[in-house]
Structure 1
Amino acid sequence: MSHLIHKFMDFYSWAETIADKRVADWFLIPSIIPTISIVALYLIFVKYVGPKFMANRNPYEFGMLLSAYNFALVGLNYYIMKELISASKAAKYSYICTPVKHDSYDPNEMRIANALWWYYFSKLIELLDTVFFMLRKKSRQITVLHVYHHSTMPILWWIGVKWVPGGQSFFGAMLNSAIHVMMYSYYGLAALGPQMQQYLWWKKYITMLQLGQFTLAIAHTGRSIYSGCDFPPWMHWALVGYSMSFIILFSNFYIQTYTKKSARKEEQNAKEK
């Protein structure tokens, strides 16, 4: 065991030498320990603390606070999306291949790095989604997909910002931020009360768009790999594998939530006739 730990520490020391120096001192980036600690506390809350705390309590009502939280995330994701679109266009990024310019302090390159840092940080903020669900006793919302997504994204994007805060990394973050603008708009409107339900018919289309973004991310990455793009292969393949896991999980969610539910409803209506 000590031999493996020693090997890992050697690898991490080497990896530090190729980390992006431009972001080396940015908040939470110097070490992965704070990010892992936050995620560990999140998982402990989901598995043990939250259920025990709420076992004999009534659901909490957050009123406008919940809506404000969701609309704040709409604003943050819109900012990230806008910065990535605008700065990548100004920097003449290619959608086929753009390497990371580790030594460039060009204003547009730094805007992209800054937007990707905010994207990473937004994934820490979004851990509060689960906290709100737990305190409102919406345990059905805390699925395997939900916890998997929320617990892995902060770590993966800490790695992304640490080593590749630019180049091909912009595409996935840009897509996901666009989807999150729509998703948190939905949650923000839903939090305003039952009177908004008539305007919230489009929830399943968010899931369809989420499936679409992962498919696009794989296609974009595959094209980049095929072109021989000078971008770390490990990041390419990690993105492909991660996106495929989401396609599987989101497809299952869509089938269970919409396809089977619709079939059951039709069957019930037929029996009533």
Structure 2
Amino acid sequence: METNTGNNTKWMSIGEFYHFVFTELADPRTSSYVLIADPLPGLGILAFYIYFVNSLGPRFMKNREPFNLQRTIYVYNTLQASLSFFMFVEILSAMWWNRYSFRCEPVDYSTSPHALRVARMVYIFFIAKMTELIETVFFVLRKKQKQVTFLHCYHHAVMPMVTWGATKYFAGGHGTFIGLINSFVHIIMYLYYLQAGMGYRNLWWKKYITMMQLGQFLLFFVHFAQLWFIECDFPKWTALLITPQVLFFIYLFSKFYMKSYKKNDEKDNLPGYQTEGIRENGESIRKRNVALTQRSNVFDGQIGDRKVIKNG
């Protein structure tokens, strides 16, 4: 990297550039948090995650029976629902309830109790995204490899990177709106997973979760795109990074919605094509006058060919 000092030109070494980007530019309040000071450990986890769920895991499970993880998944969904509820209430009460502005909210880099509380919540949101990697591992261990899709892996890999950057450089302010809305959507989503896992029938509202996910992405786009047109003391470069990602997610989730629900809705409107029942654990679905047996996964909201993709 080249820098100019008067008439002299100085070249930064790779080490100096690394220190400049990941130390001098960083938010010092979060530098002591686990996985935040250096990007390499987190990137290593994500690299191993991609390798395991797409290569190592399937080869490990090739000649093995699927693991029975029903109780483990129930506990996991309960913990995630509780964590999402905690984050939603905390972000709402500490930031967005009569305090923050949807239009422009700079980061408070001070060490006041409130500013540190906000920074901790941004970090907790990052940790929550890291823990969601476990879901794909469950798929692999249960030999549900068809659910390890590009959308699923891409989404689960990108969100930790985005939230790591937020924790590292701007822990608070405008970006916390993502945590607020995403946590609310996750509350609903994990409640759905819990109900489906307990064998509740006719969970008609599953497709509306996907609609909520699409809605949140639209809100995120508006929230960050407006930074291009207004004066706001929040890094405008974040809009250049986040809005393309949000548009890509809108495309992927819209494509999934049309494939999973639109066609099935058309079938459901045909005479004699109605769901009669869903067995506990989603082992099969019986359709009236139609001989159809499908495997499904209640952990990630899938029933037959219908699935609620994790966001967040």
Same fold (TM over 0.5): yes
Distance 1:42 1:29 in 2: 18
TM-score using structure 2 length: 0.78
Seen in structure 2, the aligned counterparts of structure 1 residues 220 and 7 have a Cα distance that, compared at 3 Å, is farther
Partner of 2:85: 78
Q: Is the 8 A contact 1:91 1:108 kept in 2?
A: no
The separation in 2 between residues aligned to 1:246 and 1:40, in whole angstroms, is 21
- Residue 243 to residue 7, structure 1, CA distance change in 2 (3 Å): farther
* Cα distance change on mapping 1:120 and 1:213 into 2, 3 Å: same
Alignment pair present for 1:161 and 2:164: no
Give 5+ residue unaligned stretches, structure 1.
1-5
**Letter of the structure 2 residue corresponding to residue 174 of structure 1:** L
Alpha-carbon distance change, 91 to 263 in structure 1, aligned in 2, over 3 angstroms:
closer
Question: CA–CA distance in 2 between the matches of 1:235 and 1:11?
Answer: 21
2:81–2:190 contact (8 Å) kept in structure 1: yes
Asked whether the 8 Å contact 1:67–1:189 carries over to 2, the reply is no
SS at match of 1:12: helix
CA distance in 2, matches of 1:154, 1:8: 25
Q: Deviation of residue 244 (structure 1)?
A: 0.5
1:120 is aligned to 2:123: no
Contact (CA 8 Å) 1:64, 1:191: kept in 2 or not? no
**Corresponding residue of 1:63:** 70
Find the counterpart in structure 1 of residue 44 from structure 2. 37
Q: Displacement, 1:247? A: 0.1
2:105 to 62, 82, 98: 98
1:91-146 deviation digits (Å, cap 9, x = unpaired): 822111111122x1222222211111011001111001001111122223221110
Give the distance between the partners of 1:91 and 1:259, measured in 2 at CA.
Answer: 39
Change (3 A) 1:212 1:107: same
Cα distance, 1:170–1:8 mapped onto 2, change above 3 Å: farther
What is the CA–CA distance in structure 2 between the aligned matches of 1:80 and 1:11, rounded to whole Å?
Answer: 35
Structure 2 unmatched ranges of 5 or more: 1-11, 274-288, 291-312
Once residues 222 and 147 of structure 2 are traced to their aligned partners in structure 1, the CA distance between those partners, rounded to angstroms, is 30
The CA distance in 2 between the partners of 1:167 and 1:36, in whole Å, is 25
Give yes or no for contact 1:90–1:108 (8 Å, CA) kept in 2.
no
Indicate conservation of the 8 Å contact 1:78/1:177, yes or no.
Answer: yes
Which residue type is aligned with residue 52 of structure 1? R
Partner of 1:185: 191
3-state SS of the aligned residue for 1:71?
helix
Q: Which of 140, 143, 148 matches 1:142?
A: 148
Residue number in structure 1 paired with 2:243 = 240
Q: Does 1:27 align with 2:34?
A: yes
Q: Which digits, 9 at most, give the CA deviation of each residue in 1:168-224, with x for residues without a partner?
A: 1100111111111111111122222xx3133x2211111000000000111111223
2:115 counterpart of 1:109: yes
| Structure 1 position 263, deviation (Å) | 3.3
SS, match of residue 168 in structure 1: helix
Please name the residue that 2:221 is paired with. 218
Which aligned runs of 4 or more in structure 1 are off by greater than 6 angstroms? Answer: none
Distance 1:263 1:8, change over 3 A: farther
Mapped partners of 1:268, 1:34: distance in 2? 56
Corresponding position of 1:197: 201
AA matched with 2:91:
L
Question: How high is the sequence identity, in percent, across the aligned residues?
Answer: 37
Kept after mapping to 2: 8 A contact 1:91/1:109:
no
C-alpha displacement at 1:261, in angstroms?
2.9
AA partner of residue 41 (structure 2)? P
Larger Rg: 2
TM-score of the aligned structures, taking structure 1 as reference length: 0.89
User: How many pairs align?
Assistant: 263
| Richer in helix (by share) | 1
Partner of residue 12 from structure 1, selected from 18, 23, 36: 18
Worse overlay, 222-231 or 112-121: 222-231
